[in-house]
Amino acid sequence: MPNNATLRRQRTLGGALGVMVLGFALIYHFFPRLFHVDPTQAPRRSMSLGAATSGSGLQPERVSAINELNAGPPLTLAPTAVIVARNSKNANLPEQLSADPPEVKALLDRATKALHAGQLVGDGNSAAALFQQALKDKPDSRRAVQGLFDVRARLVAEIDQDIAVGDVDAAQDLLGALRTLPNAEAEVTQLEASLKILEKVRPMLAQAAGLLQQGRADQPAGGSALDLYREVQTLDPQNAVAEQGIFQVQRAVLDRALAAVAQNDFAGADRELAKAQAIRPGSQQMIDVHKRVDDMREQRANGVLAQAHSALDAGNVGLATKLAAQVRAIDPSLAALAAFDEQLTNARLYASYKPGQVFTDRYVDLPGKTPAMVVIPTGSFQMGAPADEEDHTDAEMPQHTVTISKGFAMARTAVTVGEFREFVRASGYVPDSIRLGGASVYDERSGALRDDSGATWQDDYAGRKADDKLPVVNVSWNDAKAYADWLGQRTGKAYRLPSEAEFEYALRGGTSSRYWWGADAPTRQVENLTGSGDRSRSGRRWSHAFRNYRDGYWGPAPVMSFAANPFGLYDINGNVSEWTQDCWHDNYVRAPNDGSAWINPGCRSHVVRGGSWGSSPDQVDSAYRQGADGELRSGRVGFRVVREL
């Protein structure tokens, strides 16, 4: 692409050359003596006035002048023969009573030859004189009458051409000859009126040419070349000089559009293109320049977009956002922009992941990887229970709006026994069930939880050895936090326990009903819940359970045994209840509304969320919450982790 200086030189040279050509034509026609040309001696109309020239119609000088000014062209600037052919009408021919005698035929042949040679009027050898002599000798000669008609038509066409290009002297000479022809009164009257208009617009055209040369093509309004050319066209709609002048004005405006593009000012280019379109709508030069601007716009926009992609790939979201804004300013309709905007949004909110995407992080210093994480979308929700909901508690009040403005990833399932075992083995961490001794496990005989000093995280809900696919239970809040911290150390990413708000938001999965599957007992298997159809090993049944529901488990099930909620999370409101970051508060008065954890330094009691395999229906409510000592180890409580994006 040429540099700015080169474009300015090219634009200046092109504009100046166009103005010089137009100015030369105007000065030549209006003030020929400036070029040492005597209008009385210049062979302007040898073809019409009978000067001794050979060959065709227009002289080379005349042809050149017409070609230079022919910007349309209007019909008046076409060759005379074409004008005559388009405007031809048969003369009102008389009824010829007898054939032309030989001497009249000879005159007619000479006249026709003079007509074809362009010797229309003048001496006795001109076409007009010879046709008139033939008509005198044979008044009913149809050929003579038609010949005089053709002479008159050609003269009218040539006078129209002279008027169109502003050649008053040539038009007046030919008009004098036209007056000598019979039946020319109507044409003479019309042409005289056109000449009067021409005399009026000549100084206006000269002034417009000067304004154009001064750079006042279309500004200021009311004092520009365009205004004068428009005024001339109002007086003389067929004026070719005014038409050519408007062409040059539009060219100047289009040059400004290209200059703006060279400065990467595409908004400015659009403004200039709009002005040019208003001057001559749909002109070819308008179409050509518009395409050039559009091509350069697309090329520039794609170049900046490539830089934006590079910035995004490097993790510089701020720079990528600024570059995307530049692309939008250059070409808001660029096809690739929408896809990049989506990438940018994902990068800003989800660190280039997409909502619903599942991923794992590999450890940087030893073999292994994190639990599978799913990206949770941003959004707002009503946290807590509505005041009119049945069975709500004061701890679930007041209901309030929470906005999650930054995406996060949450483990698809609760942490399993196998995953926790990997952590203990690699880190040497001693869980509280071992350090402090024991946990609370389910007693089949009593149907309640009891303390068991020998139970550890390696046991299931009833104190038996747990399968690796089961969610780990008998872990304290301290154990859960230690595991999340360890994942952060192994991956270099920010792993932690979910805040209470994040947990409820993820649990609801975009729903506002009492449970994520609806308002009542599920009609299909959705979670490991207390169902009226479930039985323990000894035949026990739940005293308060979901009616007509059976999931086949008494105690935790292997993770992912049931359906995922709308956010792709398994066992989020069943199987085991889970620890969150937050300290326990009796209600939501002064609770954060941005999704962050509500923590008091040194607190000992933390929030447990979500239903478990042994929770009654009211404890599975999406708004239900309870507090527990951070050292609690229970066969009904596990945890899952969150990763910040």
Band the pLDDT of 204: cuts 50, 70, 90.
very high
Q: Which tokens sit at 505? A: 């938001």
What pLDDT is attached to residue 79? 57
Tell me the HSE value of 196 on the side-chain side, using a 13 A CA sphere: 6
Q: What is the residue-averaged pLDDT of the chain?
A: 88
Around Cβ 589, how many Cβ atoms within 10 Å? 9
pTM recorded for the entire structure: 0.61
8 Å CB contact between 522 and 551? no
Q: How far is CA 301 from CA 266, 340, 633, in A?
A: 10, 12, 60
Phi, psi of 551 (to 5 degrees): -115, -5
Q: Which tokens sit at 631? A: 């050292």
Band the pLDDT of 33: cuts 50, 70, 90.
very low
Q: Exposure pattern of 519-546 as b/e (b: 16+ CB <10 Å)?
A: eebbeeebbbbbbeebeeeeeeebeebb
DSSP, residue by residue, 211-224? HHHTT-SS-STTSS
Phi, psi of 546 (to 5 degrees): -70, 125
Lateral strand order in the sheet of 642-644: 358-359, 373-376, 408-411, 642-644, 495-496
User: What is the percent of the chain with per-residue pLDDT over 70, rounded to a whole number?
Assistant: 86
What pLDDT is attached to residue 247? 96
Nearest to 107 by CA among 136, 84, 81, 80: 136
Band the pLDDT of 55: cuts 50, 70, 90.
very low
Band the pLDDT of 89: cuts 50, 70, 90.
low
CA distance 564 to 540: 28
State whether the Cα torsion 514-518-520-524 is positive or negative: negative
What pLDDT is attached to residue 482? 98
Which H or E element spans position 177?
helix 168-179
Q: Which of 19-23, 264-268, 307-311, 635-639 has the lowest mean pLDDT?
A: 19-23
Nearest to 431 by CA among 455, 460, 456, 459: 456
Q: For residue 165, is pLDDT > 50?
A: yes
Q: How far is CA 27 from CA 43, 130, 208, in A?
A: 18, 38, 12
Mean local confidence (pLDDT), 370-383:
98
Nearest to 472 by CA among 433, 508, 436, 516: 433
What pLDDT is attached to residue 154? 93
Q: Which of 39-48, 121-130, 553-562 has the highest mean pLDDT?
A: 553-562
DSSP, residue by residue, 342-395? HHHHHHHHHTT--TT-EE--B-SSSS-BPPPEEEEPPEEEEES--TT-TT--GG
What pLDDT is attached to residue 58? 36
CA distance 63 to 218: 30
Q: For residue 83, is pLDDT > 80?
A: no
What pLDDT is attached to residue 197? 85
Mean local confidence (pLDDT), 163-170:
82
Q: For residue 586, is pLDDT > 70?
A: yes
8 Å CB contact between 613 and 530? yes
Q: Which of 45-49, 222-226, 229-233, 630-634 has the lowest mean pLDDT?
A: 45-49
Band the pLDDT of 49: cuts 50, 70, 90.
low
Band the pLDDT of 566: cuts 50, 70, 90.
very high
Band the pLDDT of 391: cuts 50, 70, 90.
confident
8 Å CB contact between 300 and 266? yes
Mean local confidence (pLDDT), 473-500:
98
State whether the Cα torsion 350-352-353-355 is positive or negative: positive
CA distance 7 to 10: 5
8 Å CB contact between 96 and 141? yes
What pLDDT is attached to residue 198? 83
Mean local confidence (pLDDT), 54-75:
37
SS (H, E, C) 282-314: CCHHHHHHHHHHHHHHHHHHHHHHHHHHHHHHC
Nearest to 212 by CA among 431, 15, 2, 356: 15
What pLDDT is attached to residue 385? 96
- Specify the higher pLDDT residue, 391 or 609: 609
DSSP, residue by residue, 411-429? ESSPPBHHHHHHHHHHH--
Q: For residue 333, is pLDDT > 50?
A: yes
Residue 186, classified by CB atoms within 10 Å of its CB into exposed (0-12), middle (13-18) or buried (19+), is: exposed
Band the pLDDT of 348: cuts 50, 70, 90.
confident
Q: How far is CA 135 from CA 89, 101, 129, 207, 287, in A?
A: 20, 12, 10, 49, 55
Which H or E element spans position 157?
helix 142-165
For residue range 423-470, what is the model confidence (pLDDT) as tens digits? 999 999 999 999 999 999 999 999 999 999 999 999 999 999 999 999
Nearest to 376 by CA among 399, 405, 340: 405
8 Å CB contact between 66 and 202? no
Around Cβ 227, how many Cβ atoms within 10 Å? 18
CA distance 100 to 223: 63
Mean local confidence (pLDDT), 57-74:
36
What pLDDT is attached to residue 41? 40
- Specify the higher pLDDT residue, 60 or 230: 230
What pLDDT is attached to residue 582? 98
Q: Which of 52-61, 218-227, 315-324, 362-371 has the lowest mean pLDDT?
A: 52-61
CA distance 595 to 404: 6
Q: For residue 511, is pLDDT > 90?
A: yes
Mean local confidence (pLDDT), 56-78:
38
Q: Which tokens sit at 571? A: 């066992």
Mean local confidence (pLDDT), 38-57:
40
Mean local confidence (pLDDT), 168-178:
89
Q: Which tokens sit at 479? A: 């154990």
CA distance 326 to 329: 5
Nearest to 473 by CA among 242, 310, 638: 638
The residue whose two tokens read 């807590």 is 384
**Rg of the Cα trace of the chain?**
48
CA distance 621 to 611: 8
Mean local confidence (pLDDT), 74-97:
62
Q: For residue 512, is pLDDT > 90?
A: yes
